[in-house]
Amino acid sequence: MPEVLDFTYESASCHLIIWNEGNRASLGDVCSKKRRCGHATKLLETVMQFVDERGLETLTAACAYPEISDGLSTLQLIEFYGRFGFLVEGDIDPEFQFMRRPAR
């Protein structure tokens, strides 16, 4: 059965679902109520340390939410997740992109 964990840092939050008998994790619902404050960066640093300590391969999807006027585009999200070692799966799609971070 998957384990769902919630992480927060200041105005940023996300969910991490650990599955596949504890070998993989899915990162989702990453959001920050305040942009350009470093909250999402600190949050992801904490989450990546957590998955690294457990040797988990981590999956996510970069997808912009156009209804959020100050939100990031999918391409900006790809760049953001890339800073944490996520790699694009397949061809880059400007609307929705699967990404994978190998276990470390």
SS3 readout for 49-66: HHHHHHCCEEEEEECCCC
pLDDT, mean over the chain: 90
pLDDT, residue 67, reads 61
Residue-level pLDDT at 69: 41
What φ, ψ does residue 99 adopt, rounded to 5°?
-140, 150
Q: What is the pTM of this model?
A: 0.87
CATH class of the domain comprising 3-101 = alpha beta
pLDDT (average), residues 7-25 = 93
Spatial distance between the Cα atoms of 9 and 7, rounded to a whole number of angstroms = 7
Per domain, the residue ranges of the chain are: 3-101
Q: Which two tokens stand for residue 48?
A: 């990546």
> CA nearest 47: which of 89, 12, 77, 98?
12
Task: For 47-82, write each residue's pLDDT tens digit.
Answer: 999 999 999 999 999 988 766 545 788 889 999 999
